[in-house]
Structure 1
Amino acid sequence: MIYGYKRPLAGDELGKQQLLGIQLDQLFIETHPFAKKRHSLEELLMIIQPGDEIVVENLVVLADSLHQLLDVLNVLAKDLVKITFLEEQLSNSTVLQLNLTETVTLFSNLQTQLKSHATTFGLAEAKKAGKTIGRPKKSDENLRKAFDMYQSKTYSLLDIKNETGISKSTLYRYIDDVTKSSYEEEKHSKHE
């Protein structure tokens, strides 16, 4: 039997760009992009028999980490099941003739893709849940205090950071914003 497996990926949330034109006996589709509760993958791994083949679009479809990839590949090896990764043109039944640099490049790219996948869907899920994304904003009162200390020219940047917790880059960004706002207000009032 030839099985296909696909799941949502960044840029292909519905899996419509995966396994195009591939003849399959049965297709397993994951309903979500996350690492946990991959029910379709578990179901597939439970029914495979020696001599079967699994086809996936790429390594990221199958695994969320190098550790998980190794676990799945070990299961497939014990069950004598072939797996083919279309995008990478790899299979667990072919001997790779890669030098060390090519091997490290392959796994470095995989690690980057895995992080990108997890980040993309993690951020989307957090936004959906109403969570604030990114670094927490510094309070306006603290920024104004840092700005006033800076303007007084009696404090060093280290003194300002120790007193307010505002970093040099945040302070400079705030100064730029204040300067830009003042410039825009002045420009607008001249045109009135």
Structure 2
Amino acid sequence: MIYGYKRPIQGDEQMTNQLTTVEVDQLYIEQHPYAKKRTQLEDLLMNLQSGDEVYVENIVVLADSLTQFEDLLKVVERDEVAIHFLHDNISSTSMLQLSLIEATTFFAKLQTACMSHRTTFGMQEAKKQGKAIGRPKKSDDNLKRAFHMYQSKKYTLQAIKEETGISKSTLYRYIDHLGE
């Protein structure tokens, strides 16, 4: 049997670009991008039998971490199932033929992609909950004080930083912003 698995990923939240080039007998679609409660993936894994094939667009669709990827590879190896990653043009069976440098590069890219995926969707979820994202802004009064100290030419940048907590780069960014 040929299975497909989709879930929202960074850059394809609607899953419109996944599995467009392959025909599958049964498609499993996860409705959310998060690592927890991946019921469709669990259902897929429970239905796999020896000789089955699973197609996913890329590894991030299937795994959220290197550890999860390793666990999934162990399951499919034990069940004698092949997983095909279309974007990477690789399968679970052909990974064994990679050189050490190719494998290292592959797993480094996987780790980066997993972190990017988690960060992107984590930030989106935090924004939905009304949480502030990023570094807190410096108070305008403190920035103005730093700017006046800078303009007076009586203070060094280090003294301004010690007095106001405003770094050199923040001060220059503020000065550039005022110039615009």
User: Is this a same-fold pair by TM over 0.5?
Assistant: yes
Residues 1:153 and 2:158 aligned together: no
Distance in structure 1 (CA, Å) of the matches to 2:99 and 2:51: 29
Instruction: Give the 5 Å matches for 1:170-189.
Output: 170-180=170-180
Instruction: Give the 5 Å matches for 1:1-192.
Output: 1-94=1-94, 96-180=96-180
Distance in structure 1 (CA, Å) of the matches to 2:106 and 2:52: 26
Q: CA RMSD in A?
A: 1.8
What do the CA deviations read for 1:134-188 (whole angstroms, capped 9, x no partner)? 22110001111211222222222122112211111001111222233xxxxxxxx
- 2:177 is matched by which residue type in structure 1? D
Helix, strand or coil for the counterpart of 1:60?
helix
Distance in structure 2 (CA, Å) of the matches to 1:28 and 1:104: 30
- 2:71 is matched by which residue type in structure 1? D
Report the CA distance between 1:72 and its aligned residue.
1.0
- 1:74 is matched by which residue type in structure 2? K
Tell me the TM-score normalised to structure 1 length: 0.84
Report the CA distance between 1:21 and its aligned residue.
3.9
In structure 2, relative to structure 1, the CA distance for the partners of 1:32 and 1:69 (3 Å cut) is same
- 1:66 is matched by which residue type in structure 2? L
Distance in structure 1 (CA, Å) of the matches to 2:83 and 2:144: 60
Distance in structure 2 (CA, Å) of the matches to 1:27 and 1:141: 57
Helix, strand or coil for the counterpart of 2:54?
strand
Deviates more, 1:101-110 or 1:160-169: 101-110
What do the CA deviations read for 1:96-118 (whole angstroms, capped 9, x no partner)? 43333322222222223223322
Report the CA distance between 1:95 and its aligned residue.
5.4
Deviates more, 1:31-40 or 1:12-21: 12-21
Runs (5+) with no aligned partner, structure 1: 181-192
- 1:138 is matched by which residue type in structure 2? K
Helix, strand or coil for the counterpart of 2:28?
strand
Runs (5+) with no aligned partner, structure 2: none
Helix, strand or coil for the counterpart of 2:83?
strand
Number of matched pairs: 180
Tell me the TM-score normalised to structure 2 length: 0.89
Higher CA-based Rg: 1
Percent of residue pairs identical:
61
In structure 2, relative to structure 1, the CA distance for the partners of 1:67 and 1:43 (3 Å cut) is same
